[in-house]
Amino acid sequence: MLRKTLIAGAALTAVSMAALSAKAEDEGPNDLEIAHIAYTAGVIDLRYAHLALAVSDNADVREFAGTMLRDHQAVNDAALALLEKLEAAPQDNATSQSLLQQAADKRAELIALEGKAFDKAYADNELGYHQFVNTALAETFIPAADNAEFKALLGSALATFRAHEKHAEKLVKNTR
């Protein structure tokens, strides 16, 4: 009985891994690459939020940054928990590297600013960044994801980031 259970468990794990494993190249990013891109995108916004909290005295900016810290950390924690459950590791890729380079450039721009100029630039960047990420999730990554649990997680993440996008629209107005 125990042996049968172990075999069944191993088979399930194999199925999960297969669902998250690399697909043919012409089918776009695989689940492990998407996981890496989504996690990286979250880390980037966490870094922007830490910068805002270090630089800005604006109450709206600080409140927004605090929300980004809470929510993006929760989403990334949920992603890591799912990957651990599926015994899968995110796969680094060119898109993740490109996102990190763009973010490093943007951070260099932001660090050179202060006061209202920083607040406005941070707000504009948060709106643009969330619009970009949400479009990529909705139109590319969620349709491309194979594993049902992973696809559902991305859907929940998108709901979170869409709320952030609306919040960022208000922040842009408040920091003009």
Partner 1 sequence: MNMLDKKIDRRRGLLVCGLAAAIVGQAALWAPSALAESHVVEIRDFQFAPEALDIAVGDTVTWVNMDIAPHTATAVDGSWDSGSLAQGDEWSLVIETAGVIDYLCTFHPQMVGALNVE
- Which residues make up the interface to partner 1 (CB under 8 A)? 67, 70-71, 74-75, 78, 153, 156-157, 159-160, 162-163, 166-167
How big is the CA angle at 128 (ends 127 and 130), to the nearest 5 degrees? Answer: 65
Q: How far is the CB of 48 from partner 1 (least distance, A)?
A: 17
- What are 68's two structure tokens? 């980004």
Give the other-Cβ count within 10 Å of 74's Cβ. 13
Phi, psi at 175, each rounded to 5°:
-110, 10
Q: Which is nearer to partner 1, 97 or 156 (CB)?
A: 156
* Cβ(128)–Cβ(45) below 8 Å: no
Cα–Cα dist 176/158, whole Å: 27
Q: How far is the CB of 56 from partner 1 (least distance, A)?
A: 18
- What are 76's two structure tokens? 């990334």
Q: Which is nearer to partner 1, 15 or 50 (CB)?
A: 50
Q: Which is nearer to partner 1, 81 or 117 (CB)?
A: 81
Q: How far is the CB of 101 from partner 1 (least distance, A)?
A: 27
Q: Which is nearer to partner 1, 77 or 105 (CB)?
A: 77
Q: How far is the CB of 67 from partner 1 (least distance, A)?
A: 6
